[in-house]
Amino acid sequence: MKKIVVVLSIVTLIAVIAVVALVFYTMGLRNQQPQNTTPTTDVQSNNQNQDEVSAELAAELAELQELLDSILADNHGQGDAEMITDREAMDIALQYIGHGSVNDVLLFSDEGVLTFEVDIRHEEVRYMVYINALSGSVISSDSFDEQQD
């Protein structure tokens, strides 16, 4: 489901970039000062400008396609695995620590690996549990006494 949201976001971004480029292109054509040239030269100049804009758009679309392909790619060895939810990440972290209450859950990408950071507090100790968002496995954990801060 989240892959679909990411894909739709990227497709929307592509469409917005194309519309913005088209608007700037048409504004540029309207703002061109008349020149003392023959009509044939003006047509050739407009065609050249159009080709330049088309090439720029094609390059931007190619970059966005590469980004989309990388997102839809192998998921770092996880295949088509679905991402766990933040609720599942909280349950995994609580089970790993064994006690406490969840204070916060963050999702971030660490070198291309989607990772949940679950902040758990129990009495005066704070635990940070890092969980792979695709496999649900605990990557690492840290703990520290909050009284020392």
In a domain, 78, yes or no: no
Pairing of strands 138-145, 125-132: antiparallel
Considering only CA atoms, which of 143, 136, 88 is closest in space to residue 121?
143
* Share of the chain residues as helix, strand and coil, in percent rounded to the nearest 5: 50, 25, 25
pLDDT of residue 121: 95
Are 105 and 139 in the same domain? yes
Q: Which of 19, 47, 72 is the last residue of a domain?
A: 72
Please state, in angstroms and rounded to a whole number, the distance separating the CA atoms of residues 37 and 21.
27
23 lies in which domain range? 2-72
Are 66 and 6 in the same domain? yes
Q: How many other β-carbons are positioned within 10 Å of the β-carbon of residue 25?
A: 17
pLDDT of residue 62: 76
Q: Which of 40, 72, 104 is the last residue of a domain?
A: 72
pTM, two decimals, is 0.48
More confident residue, 21 or 40: 21
In a domain, 79, yes or no: no
Question: Which CATH number covers residue 100?
Answer: 3.10.450.40
In a domain, 130, yes or no: yes
pLDDT of residue 86: 93
Count structural domains, the chain.
2
Which pLDDT tens digit goes with each residue over 62-93?
777 776 666 555 445 555 568 999 999 999 99
In a domain, 56, yes or no: yes
More confident residue, 8 or 61: 61
Are 138 and 109 in the same domain? yes
Which pLDDT tens digit goes with each residue over 87-145?
999 999 999 999 999 999 999 988 888 999 999 999 899 999 999 999 999 999 999 99
More confident residue, 88 or 39: 88
pLDDT of residue 59: 80
Q: Which of 72, 96, 113 is the last residue of a domain?
A: 72
